[in-house]
């Protein structure tokens, strides 16, 4: 049995294989409502029917001002929760695990889809962040008070509760790619002098508060993931070693696996994105933190993904680009590795049309 197709059980959830769909923004919501629609059902459903072990829907905002753009999806109200229900149900009906990433964009919110600030008179909104430091092209965020932080912690808790009510079986907290929780973690974007700034413990405090309340909301059966950018790709920024330390702290509060990406805090940073370029970060966090990790980033072949697992650099593989190109990649990967799987959709099985 190839490790790529060896089932994995975390808490009460069994994943049929280690090929997982990462959260990929769709920018497909209409009328600035944050409401998921038929696109979200068909897009996510195609990956589930294609054999993925888990399908995680896009970064889903916990509040209207937590959206990256006006076209991003949300789960800040019960109507959105109910619109996500058929998406989660269809993913599960295909034998895949439905998952959701809950997120707040922080200072990178109110983007006009072209890395510029969406004007207020066109539906834009005031952004918030740890410090009065802007991302290139966007507005200077309002500095969050401790009261603001408490509000956002509760919004994460409420979003997690609604996600479980919608039928999602895995919850991921987005603490990567330069969005709000990452902004607090990195010393490049967090220059606060209160209990949420300065030392690593203080910069991680906000995230740890979120992990704690989310675990309380979702109960003991649902796996909880955290996505990290393991490096800012510049000197004096966030590091893989800090990621490993904070991942361990998150684990102690109930997080189960860490989705290891990189970058996103600063623009105009050159990253040599060769095949598997982020895998070493997953390996560092896995080994130094003694935690489960998933690798992501230009992993495009079955052999490459299998080798990462065989070399114990990750426990699961997130594949994005290749699944966009071929939603049935997991079934093809099984064939390439000589693995027989029993979850090909019935209409696609050999002999069905004979």
**CA 76/CA 335 separation, integer angstroms:** 41
Bridge partners of 261, per DSSP, are: 229
Give residue for tokens 């290749």. Answer: 322
∠ Cα 249 74 131 (to 5°):
55
- Rounded to 5 degrees, φ, ψ at 310 are -60, -35
* DSSP H or E segment with residue 146: helix 146-166
**CA 17/CA 25 separation, integer angstroms:** 23
Residue 151: how many other CB atoms lie within 10 Å = 13
Assess whether 179 carries a catalytic annotation.
Answer: yes
**CA 175/CA 160 separation, integer angstroms:** 15
* DSSP H or E segment with residue 259: strand 257-261
Q: What is the DSSP letter of 90?
A: H
- Rounded to 5 degrees, φ, ψ at 69 are -130, 170
Catalytic residue among 179, 196, 343, 352: 179
Residue 346: how many other CB atoms lie within 10 Å = 6
Give residue for tokens 């808790």. Answer: 157
* CA distances (Å), origin 123, targets 188, 239, 329: 29, 36, 39
Residues with a catalytic annotation lie at 179
């Amino acid at each position: 049995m190839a490790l790529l197709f060896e089932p994995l059980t975390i808490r009460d959830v069994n994943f049929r294989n280690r090929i997982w769909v990462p959260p990929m923004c769709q920018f497909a919501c209409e009328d600035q409502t944050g409401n998921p629609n038929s696109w979200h059902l068909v897009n996510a459903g195609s990956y589930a029917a294609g054999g993925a072990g888990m399908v995680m829907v896009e970064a889903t905002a916990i509040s209207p001002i937590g959206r990256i753009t006006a076209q991003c999806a949300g789960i800040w109200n019960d109507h959105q929760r109910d619109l996500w229900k058929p998406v989660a149900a269809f993913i599960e009906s295909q034998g895949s695990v439905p998952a959701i990433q809950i997120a707040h964009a922080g200072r990178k919110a109110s983007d006009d889809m072209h890395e510029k600030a969406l004007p207020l008179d066109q539906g834009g909104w005031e952004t918030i962040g740890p410090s009065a430091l802007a991302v290139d092209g966007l507005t200077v965020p309002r500095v969050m008070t401790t009261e603001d932080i408490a509000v956002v912690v509760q919004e994460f808790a409420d979003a997690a509760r609604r996600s479980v009510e919608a039928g999602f079986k895995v919850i991921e907290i987005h603490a990567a790619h330069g969005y709000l929780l990452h902004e607090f973690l990195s010393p490049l974007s967090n220059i606060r002098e209160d209990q949420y700034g300065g030392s690593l413990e203080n910069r991680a405090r906000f995230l740890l508060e979120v992990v704690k309340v989310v675990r309380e909301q979702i109960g003991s059966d649902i796996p909880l993931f955290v996505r990290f950018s393991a490096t800012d790709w510049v000197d004096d920024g966030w590091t893989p070693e800090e990621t490993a330390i904070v991942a361990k702290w998150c684990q102690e509060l109930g997080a189960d696996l860490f989705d290891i990406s990189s970058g996103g805090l600063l623009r105009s940073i050159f990253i040599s994105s060769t095949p598997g370029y982020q895998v070493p970060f997953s390996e560092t966090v896995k080994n130094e933190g003694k935690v489960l990790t998933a690798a992501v980033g230009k992993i495009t072949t079955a052999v490459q993904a299998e080798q990462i697992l065989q070399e114990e650099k990750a426990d699961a593989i997130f594949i994005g680009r290749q699944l966009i190109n071929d939603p049935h990649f997991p079934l093809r990967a099984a064939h390439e590795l000589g693995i027989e799987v029993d979850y090909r959709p019935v209409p696609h099985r050999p002999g069905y049309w004979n």
